[in-house]
Amino acid sequence: METLEPVLAAHPFLQGLDPRHLKVIGECASRVDFKAGQFLFRGQEEATQFFLINQGQVALEIFSARRGPIIIQSLREGDAVGWLWFPKPYHWHYDARAISLSRATALDVKGLMQRCEQDHLLGYEMMKRYAHLLAVQFRVTILQLVDIYGK
């Protein structure tokens, strides 16, 4: 049976994780491909998986009835998509669409949460990574909000 531990270990989101924890996460992982234009998930759907991108480009979008889909961020290999799975209410807040053929590792949210509850060291490691993503995203969002190119 194919093991995903080497793929997981190579992804920046999980870099430096204890091999024991990688093995546990590997039990919740599967490989997924998305063709250009295919949605990884859509807003309001239940968050059952989140994704570590291994290849390709994914756009996070918010749909506006007047303007159509508005891209708010591009993500590429090495990025994590869908980190809002962690807190309640466990559903997606926006759409994620593959811009080009994209390959990712999908992590089962329920399985991962169960394992984090059982092993708090793993939970802490995941929480540290989650906090880092949040901090980066917070900084990026502020820069986008201030409209630095405005007159």
Partner 1 sequence: MEQAPSPAQEQPGAAVPHLPEPPRLTNMLNPLAEPMLPEPYRVLKRIRETGDTFTLTLAPVQGEQGFHFAPGQFNMLYVFGVGEVPISISGDPDRPEKLVHTVRAVGAVSRAICGLEKGDVLGVRGPFGTPWPVAKAPGQDVLVIAGGLGLAPLRPAVYHLLARRAEYGNLELIYGARTPEDMVYRRELERWRGRFDFRVHVTVDTALGDWLGNVGVVPNLISRARFDPVQTMALICGPGVMMRFTVQELLNRGLKMENIYLSMERNMKCGLGLCGHCQLGPFFVCKDGPVFPYDRLRDWFLMREV
Chain residues binding partner 1 by CB under 8 A are 57, 59, 61, 67-74, 97, 99-100, 136, 139-140, 143-144, 146-151
Strands 102-108 and 95-98: unpaired
Residue number with CB closer to partner 1 (74 or 118) = 74
Residue number with CB closer to partner 1 (28 or 59) = 59
- Paired tokens of 12: 């920046």
Q: Tell the smallest beta-carbon distance from residue 65 to partner 1 (Å).
A: 13
Residue (of 104, 110, 112) closest to 22 by Cα position: 112
Q: Tell the smallest beta-carbon distance from residue 132 to partner 1 (Å).
A: 13
Whether 70 contacts 76, CB under 8 Å: no
Q: Tell the smallest beta-carbon distance from residue 32 to partner 1 (Å).
A: 21
Q: What are phi and psi of 133, to 5 degrees?
A: -60, -45
Residue number with CB closer to partner 1 (72 or 113) = 72
Residue number with CB closer to partner 1 (79 or 125) = 79
With vertex at residue 132, the alpha carbon angle to CA 36 and CA 75, rounded to the nearest 5 degrees, is: 15
Beta carbons within 8 Å of 134's beta carbon, 6+ residues apart: 83
Which ranges constitute the DSSP H helices of 16-119?
19-26, 109-118
Q: Tell the smallest beta-carbon distance from residue 127 to partner 1 (Å).
A: 23
Q: Tell the smallest beta-carbon distance from residue 135 to partner 1 (Å).
A: 13
Residue number with CB closer to partner 1 (35 or 139) = 139
